[in-house]
Structure 1
Amino acid sequence: MRISDLSKATGCHLETIRYYERIGLLPPPGRSAAGYRAYDQPDVERLQFVVRSRALGFALEDVRSLLALATSTDMSCEDVDVVARAHLDQIEAKQRELSALAGELRTMIETCRHGTRATCTVLRSLAG
């Protein structure tokens, strides 16, 4: 299949596919006689893995590690668990941070008395 077909099959943008090839997350594709990139089912499956991993927020290096771990199907998944747990810890820390930011913003908004901009509590809070 061509790159446009791979894009449709995975929901991944063409330029992103090319980028993943450049950084080695996807192997260099074969080429048709006309010079077009040629992909097959393993390429679709690998790209789906990458797309889903990125949708879950895994960093590119984590995706690279997970791909490497996925090729050793007979080994324990303990290493995979370590990567996934570390990522979950990062997500939960970010959730706490965002919750605190939402609370702070909520307080600024709730204290606003809709006066003039000179007395706006939101603008004053942002100014320090």
Structure 2
Amino acid sequence: MNIGEAAKASGVSAKMIRHYESVGLFPEAARSESGYRRYGDKEVSTLRFVRQSRDLGFSIEQIRALLGLWQNRRRPSRQVRALAQAHIEELDAKLKELEAMKATLEHLVACCHGDERPDCPIIDSLSSRPEAVPEVHTGRQKTSGLRSGRAAARG
């Protein structure tokens, strides 16, 4: 099948197939006599694996490792589990970061009158130095204003 057919069968766009080939995640396809990429069932299965891994938020490097484990029938499942567990921990950290950002925004929105006056604590907070932003307590950690995002999530 050609790249369009492989894209349709796998759920991965032709553009992403080319990208995965360019970064070495997916081997370059065989070419027809006229130079068109040709894909078989094995390649489509690999593309589905990559798509489902991306849907779970795995990075390109993590997918590269997962592909290696998937293709190695002698691998111990503990390696796959360890990789997935590490990804869960990354997702937990991102969730905390998003919760802290949301709490900060909720606090700023609650402080804003939202009327015809130009005074706005949201704009003031965005334009101030991080240490001048009011502290927000999310229930899990005490964070300082806009720093409640990445910086506060890291500690």
Partner amino acid for 2:51? V
Which runs of no fewer than 5 residues in structure 2 stay unpaired? 129-155
Percentage of pairs with the same residue: 36
Please report how far the alpha carbon of residue 30 of structure 1 lies from its aligned counterpart in structure 2 after TM superposition.
1.3
Please report how far the alpha carbon of residue 111 of structure 1 lies from its aligned counterpart in structure 2 after TM superposition.
1.2
| CA RMSD in angstroms, aligned pairs only | 1.1
- Paired position in structure 1 for 2:78: 78
- Paired position in structure 1 for 2:65: 65
How many residues end up aligned between the 2 structures?
127
Taking the aligned partners of 1:114 and 1:49, their CA distance within structure 2 comes to: 48
Deviations 1:16-68 (A, max 9, x none): 10111122211121112222111000000000111111111111111000000
- Paired position in structure 2 for 1:15: 15
Taking the aligned partners of 1:56 and 1:2, their CA distance within structure 2 comes to: 27
Normalised to the residue count of structure 2, the TM-score between the two structures is 0.78
SS in 1 for 2:58: coil
Taking the aligned partners of 1:76 and 1:114, their CA distance within structure 2 comes to: 58
Which runs of no fewer than 5 residues in structure 1 stay unpaired? none
1:47 matched to 2:47? The reply is yes
Runs of 4+ deviating beyond 2 Å: none
- Paired position in structure 1 for 2:107: 107
Normalised to the residue count of structure 1, the TM-score between the two structures is 0.93
Please report how far the alpha carbon of residue 79 of structure 1 lies from its aligned counterpart in structure 2 after TM superposition.
0.6
